[in-house]
Amino acid sequence: MALALHNAKGLSGLSAQAEVKYYTSGAAITTGDWVAGDGTTCVQADDDAPATISALGVALDTTTGAGQPVRVCVAGKVTANVTTGTAAGESITIGGTAGRAIPFDNDAGGGEGDGGVCGICLTLADDNLATVFVSPRSY
């Protein structure tokens, strides 16, 4: 079971009210990537891989492979990997690029967005980065 860190103030790009949980990486992960997984292990979220469609949150650590500790923001405000050009105020979902969120459009078809809304973009995404609010989920 992932452990929660309730006062996350001081972590890079993270609001003091954010909820952070600890996981073990199942593969390489980059800080800011959206991750998915089970109760103990996480990997980059990817709409093209059915097991990783539903995001847990945003990675706060970079790992070089499996078996490394990674903190994940599971609720609150944080800087994340979001497709450039995504506008502030747009709901976001996991897209077909591993670790990256895209604007949510439930009418888009093509299979993207199957994991539902994972957050809300708070700033215009530039260079595939934006401040987002991670939507809390049940674990």
pLDDT per residue, tens digit, the chain (139 aa), is 343 443 344 445 677 788 999 999 999 999 999 999 988 999 999 988 888 888 999 999 999 999 999 999 999 999 999 999 999 999 999 998 999 999 998 555 555 667 789 999 999 999 999 999 999 875 4
Supply the pTM of this predicted model. Answer: 0.86
**pLDDT score for 7:** 38
**pLDDT score for 57:** 96
Domain ranges of the chain: 4-134
| C-alpha dist (Å) from residue 4 to 68, 73, 79, 104, 113 | 17, 10, 19, 28, 27
**pLDDT score for 103:** 94
Q: What is the 3-state secondary structure (H, E, C) of 37-83?
A: ECCCEEEECCCCCHHHCCCCEEECCCECCCCCEEEEEEEEEEEEEEC
Give the CATH fold of the 4-134 domain.
Virus Head Decoration Protein; Chain: A, (2.40.300)
